[in-house]
A and B are shown apart, each in its own frame.
Chain A
Amino acid sequence: MSGDLRDPHLPPYADDAEMRRLLASEQDAPAPSTDIQVRIARRMTASLAESAPRWTSAGKLVAVGAVTAAVAVTVGLAYWGWAAHHATPVAVPVLASAAEPPSNRPSNLSVTPPALVAQHAVAPGAGVVPPAESADFPLVRVRRADTLAAEQKLVEAAREALAHGEPRLAYESLDAHAHKFPRGQLREERESLSIRALLTQGRPAQARQRAEAFLAHEGESLFAPVVRSMLVKARTAAPDDTEREP
């Protein structure tokens, strides 16, 4: 963490140096293997997709799948790097799908809703999965991952720009994303970042408009909490509807 914040009033251990050595070894504990990380990401994809039908529209279902796909593809790309390093065949599990149960535990999460699959199939620029591969096992190879990776690159660039107080640069990346992937899998994240960029630029009225529009359509989105918190800020800064910009 950010320095030792332990209580200085606690008595030392009898062999304090040895105990500190032992406890410090825990702070170096390794991450789970890449295989495990990929499996967990796949299962989160399946779980979130499974919970989506309780929501109110097919669009939200697609959005949840898209967001969780980002989790899986990013871990999948990490797996690529690992696999390449270990000279093993490259096969990246990107999305949990109908063919594989997400867990050995009793569960009803094993089916990816058709709407999610359909969205991926029509996503602009998305690669076509060879039928045999998609039917046998949920492995999606280079082009699908390329599309998601390209989306993520633009979204990441926008986030970085915002982190450095550069909303204009963020807009450029977000515009590029909107142009290339109008119905892209990270479009909810794009909208959330756009609202943040507007707030950062000191345009609360526009931020408020977009946040309200987003929440009207995507109120159950995973991004809804953060958009709501931005809406509160926007309303504080631009409380009167008449102040809205054209």
Chain B
Amino acid sequence: MKAEPNEMWMSVPPARITLTEAELASPSIVYQTHVAYVWNCLRRLGVAESDREDLCHDVFMAFFRGQASFDPTRPLRPWLFGIAFRVASDHRRRAWFRREVSQSNDDVGFDGPDAHDAMAKKEARHLVERALAALDLNQRAVFILHEIDELPMPEISRALEAPLNTLYSRLRLGRRKFEAEVQRLSAVAAAPRRELRRAGATR
């Protein structure tokens, strides 16, 4: 069954996505309600799993230290994404950045009646992650915020501090690249199966 948009944050009850001003003042609440989001943002931005823990820490620390400049009337997630984007960009620029496609390590047990569904979702996530790697970081950021987080473009413009027209251009390019990469990866994955069928037919 397809999840409704509000049910999509696994570890966070929907009511907790938006925090009150008082809750924003509590690091424990900010951390608990958004750690999964920040973690997955970094993964989608191409941060390898071995570095993700460090960078997740850095994102929250940057938020807590710069919280005074956060407007509590605005949604928190785009703000956190903006920080994650800058942290991931800095990380890429460092000489020791290891260019690798991160591997999802979804600690999901595939038992029970939903096992097939869970496995299918994991495979889909893996495909998305690999296709995202074809986009440069700027295209990837706007693509993630618009296509996955489903944010409106003006909100994305505020989060990434970039002009709207520039972001539309990046999004169009990103969508094209992403779609082409998904098709390519799907074709590559299907090739061995085709060969197997062909071999079976000639036997």
Residues on A close to B: CB < 8 A? 1-7, 10, 13-14, 19, 21-33, 36-37, 39-41, 43-44, 47-48, 51, 67-68, 70-71, 73-75, 78, 103, 105, 152, 159, 162-163, 189, 192-193, 196, 222-226, 228-229
B53–A40 touching, CB < 8 Å = yes
B175 within 8 A of A: yes
* Cα separation A30 to B39 with both chains bound (whole Å): 9
* Shortest distance between the CB of A49 and any CB in chain B (Å): 12
Interface residues of B in 129-159 (CB under 8 A from A): 146-153, 155
B25–A226 touching, CB < 8 Å = yes
B2 within 8 A of A: yes
Encode B108-139 as 1/0 by CB contact (under 8 A) with A: 10000000000011101101100000000000
* Shortest distance between the CB of A229 and any CB in chain B (Å): 7
* Cα separation A55 to B40 with both chains bound (whole Å): 33
13 A-B contact pairs sorted by A residue (CB < 8 Å)? A10-B175, A22-B128, A23-B148, A27-B3, A30-B108, A31-B11, A44-B60, A47-B57, A67-B26, A159-B22, A162-B22, A192-B22, A196-B22
* Cα separation A222 to B122 with both chains bound (whole Å): 38
Chain B residues near A78 (CB-CB < 8 A): 32
Chain A residues near B57 (CB-CB < 8 A): 40, 43-44, 47, 103
CB-based nearest B residue for A18? B182
B10–A29 touching, CB < 8 Å = yes
* Cα separation A24 to B148 with both chains bound (whole Å): 7
CB-based nearest A residue for B122? A25
Give the contact stretch, choosing among B61-69, B82-90, B188-196. B61-69
B27–A22 touching, CB < 8 Å = no
B10–A30 touching, CB < 8 Å = yes
A28–B179 touching, CB < 8 Å = no
* Shortest distance between the CB of A174 and any CB in chain B (Å): 12
| Interface-centre pick from A3, A6, A26, A75 (highest chain B CB count, 10 A) | A26
* Shortest distance between the CB of B47 and any CB in chain A (Å): 12
B124–A21 touching, CB < 8 Å = yes
* Cα separation A4 to B3 with both chains bound (whole Å): 13
Contact of A4 among B9, B44, B150 (CB under 8 A): B150
Contact of A31 among B6, B36, B75, B146 (CB under 8 A): B36
B26–A5 touching, CB < 8 Å = no
CB-based nearest B residue for A221? B25
- Decide yes or no: A67 and B27 within 8 Å by CB, A3-B5, A4-B5, A36-B53 being known contacts: yes
B149–A1 touching, CB < 8 Å = yes
Contact of A222 among B10, B64, B120, B179 (CB under 8 A): B64
